[in-house]
A and B are shown apart, each in its own frame.
Chain A
Amino acid sequence: MTIDRNLLILFGGVIVALSLATVITALIRRSQTDSPVLENLSQRVNAWWAMVAVFGVSLALGRNGVFLFYAGLSFLALREFITLTPTPRGDHRTLAWIFFAILPVHFLFAWAPWYSMFLIFIPVYAFVLIPIRSALAGDTRNFLERTAKLQWGVLTCVYFLSYLPMMLYLPIEGYEGQNAKLLFFVVLVTQASDILQYIFGKLWGRTPIAPGVSPGKTREGLIYGGLAAAGVGTALWWATPFPPLPAAGMSLLLVLVGFLGGLVMSAVKRSLNAKDWGRGIPGHGGVLDRLDSLLFSAPVFFHVTGYYFATDMYATYAQPAWFELILQPWKLIW
């Protein structure tokens, strides 16, 4: 993966936008008396600088850097998820398997890449292993709930999240070697949608969509912020493999699925009696509070993009030869 000029332009744009946000925040803070909301705003902007820096460094390091970065994020997200999910002692060994085996092995298959194993390793093998390990530990209290919670955590924080680095592998004709921009596009539009919905919601938000789940999410915020974010995405069509109109459609898809993903993760958070997933990112809450909308938008975007360009991931990234040797080691001799 080489860094192309368009990618640098995208980065430049983000840095200009962040600089603007920093200046505006400073101006507001000078003209008004300090309040918790303003304090939080400037914390958020500062944290964005750090997040953009880390994201940028991971892209600059190429494929290995990107996969390492998302494996790390996955680890942090899962850690927050499990921390809020009450697990009894009977789940200790299962948790060790999840953190130290399932997560790294899944990212190895994703990185390799072996497409069909990337697709099924968690839904089949991990989901078979998790209840087996818990059953062997012998604690049957709330067994179904406990298993479901662990599986849901692995599904969202590991499987769904790993679709982001997989963007690098989509074999799109005429877009070879440029997939980093596709990843950038997904993250940028989804995060811009979150931010713009927040801003427009604070300015004109009136009608809450699901007050019991997330009082901050309003119809006005979604419509204005979402349209603005889709506008940003459409304006960036030149960085994507899509022509302008489909780029608009894909941006809307990211906005809508991202919004609903954020809503679902909020509902999960409420059901665990928490306001934030953690305290890892100052002003934002936990890592999961920042990633929630991407968890759902990434896999949907990945597959829809695959259909649009009729990509054949199975053929491009088939079972590696060494795996056959593991299953039939006698072939080494005969």
Chain B
Amino acid sequence: MIAALVAPLVRLLAGVHVQQDLAIPEQVRIYIANHSSHLDFVVIWAVLPPALRVRCRPVAAADYWSRGLVRKRLATDLFRAVLVPREDISRQNNPLDLMISALGNNQDLILFPEGTRSADGTVHPFRPGLFHLVRRFPAAEILPVNLENLSRILPKGEFLPVPILGRVTFGSPMTPLGKDETKAAFLERCRKGVEALGSPV
């Protein structure tokens, strides 16, 4: 209910449109995108066609999104985020298990493999979590997404968004992880896949 109101509002603010032609895959999907603003997952969530929006869950840092009542309610109730720990990772406290169980429940994930927001607009090297996730759940389709200008709408450390026009570009699914492909090669291939969708600088 609330989602049906919030999504158009977000699209209006960020100047982006619903991606009507986005294919609905049979298998689960992992959206991988560059990260520069708190708006990032909200905007991807808002431009997805409703059929895809209901089955996607952003992966967000538990230490940030569990703080404060409003933030927590937003993250868990509205966006149904998979809140993962960034610190004290152990066998019992493993972010991968949470993601795998979401994928196992036929839920798509929105993942920002850079791990943190980039301040300079470039796409930073991807963290190894994506590689381990794909190795443990090879059936998932990996779809690169490029986000532009969102860091200008709401930069790191600011609270008031400015109505600049953002852009969301969805790519075609990545070729699955090769048998002999190394971790570094795979992560770099994914990073390039996201980066290549952006406007040339």
Cβ–Cβ < 8 Å partners of B125 in chain A: none
**Known pairs A92-B158, A96-B160; A79 contacts B165 (CB<8 A):** yes
By beta carbon, the residue of chain A nearest B158 is: A92
Q: Which of A83, A93, A95, A96 contacts B165 (CB 8 A)?
A: A83
Contact flags (1/0) for A75-94 with B, using CB distance below 8 Å?
Answer: 10001101100010100110
Contact flags (1/0) for A59-84 with B, using CB distance below 8 Å?
Answer: 00000000000000001000110110
Cβ–Cβ < 8 Å partners of B149 in chain A: 83
By beta carbon, the residue of chain A nearest B15 is: A79
**Known pairs A83-B149, A89-B155, A92-B155; A99 contacts B165 (CB<8 A):** no
CB-CB contacts below 8 Å: A145-204 with B: none
Cβ–Cβ < 8 Å partners of A96 in chain B: 160, 162
* Cβ of A233 under 8 Å from chain B: no
Interface centre among B15, B158, B160, B162 (most CB of A within 10 A): B162
Cβ–Cβ < 8 Å partners of B162 in chain A: 82, 92, 95-96, 99
Contact flags (1/0) for B162-186 with A, using CB distance below 8 Å?
Answer: 1111000000000000000000000
Cβ–Cβ < 8 Å partners of A93 in chain B: 158
CB-CB contacts below 8 Å: B1-49 with A: 15
A-B contact count (CB 8 A): 27
By beta carbon, the residue of chain A nearest B119 is: A89
Cβ–Cβ < 8 Å partners of B165 in chain A: 79-80, 83, 278
- Distance, CA A278 to CA B158, complexed state (A): 26
- Distance, CA A83 to CA B160, complexed state (A): 17
Interface centre among A75, A96, A100 (most CB of B within 10 A): A96
**Known pairs A79-B15, A92-B158; A87 contacts B163 (CB<8 A):** no
Chain A to chain B: the 6 pairs with minimum beta-carbon distance, closest first: A83-B165, A95-B162, A89-B155, A83-B164, A96-B160, A79-B163
The total of chain B residues at the interface (CB under 8 A) is 10
User: Is B164 a contact of A82 with CB atoms below 8 Å?
Assistant: yes
> Contact residues of A with B, CB < 8 Å?
75, 79-80, 82-83, 87, 89, 92-93, 95-96, 99-100, 278
Cβ–Cβ < 8 Å partners of B155 in chain A: 89, 92
- Label chain B's interface by main secondary structure: loop
By beta carbon, the residue of chain A nearest B152 is: A87
Cβ–Cβ < 8 Å partners of A83 in chain B: 15, 149, 164-165
Cβ–Cβ < 8 Å partners of A99 in chain B: 162-163
Interface centre among A75, A80, A83, A93 (most CB of B within 10 A): A83
- Distance, CA A100 to CA B149, complexed state (A): 19
- Distance, CA A100 to CA B165, complexed state (A): 16
- Distance, CA A83 to CA B163, complexed state (A): 9
Q: Please list 24 pairs of residues, one from A and one from B, whose beta carbons are closer than 8 Å in the complex, sorted by A's number.
A: A75-B163, A79-B163, A79-B164, A79-B165, A80-B165, A82-B162, A82-B164, A83-B15, A83-B149, A83-B164, A83-B165, A89-B155, A92-B152, A92-B155, A92-B158, A92-B162, A93-B158, A95-B162, A95-B164, A96-B160, A96-B162, A99-B162, A99-B163, A100-B160
Chain A nearest Cβ from B15, distance in angstroms: 7
By beta carbon, the residue of chain A nearest B149 is: A83
- Distance, CA A18 to CA B45, complexed state (A): 39
By beta carbon, the residue of chain B nearest A89 is: B155
Cβ–Cβ < 8 Å partners of A79 in chain B: 15, 163-165
By beta carbon, the residue of chain A nearest B154 is: A92
Cβ–Cβ < 8 Å partners of A75 in chain B: 163
Cβ–Cβ < 8 Å partners of A80 in chain B: 165
By beta carbon, the residue of chain A nearest B162 is: A95
Contact flags (1/0) for B146-160 with A, using CB distance below 8 Å?
Answer: 000100100100101
Knowing that A79-B164, A92-B152 touch, tell me 12 more A-B residue pairs with CB under 8 angstroms.
A79-B15, A83-B15, A83-B149, A83-B164, A89-B155, A92-B155, A92-B158, A95-B162, A95-B164, A96-B160, A99-B162, A100-B160
- Distance, CA A83 to CA B162, complexed state (A): 10
Chain A nearest Cβ from B9, distance in angstroms: 16
By beta carbon, the residue of chain B nearest A277 is: B165
- Distance, CA A92 to CA B165, complexed state (A): 14
Cβ–Cβ < 8 Å partners of B152 in chain A: 87, 92
- Distance, CA A95 to CA B155, complexed state (A): 12
Cβ–Cβ < 8 Å partners of B15 in chain A: 79, 83
Chain A nearest Cβ from B160, distance in angstroms: 5
- Distance, CA A75 to CA B163, complexed state (A): 9
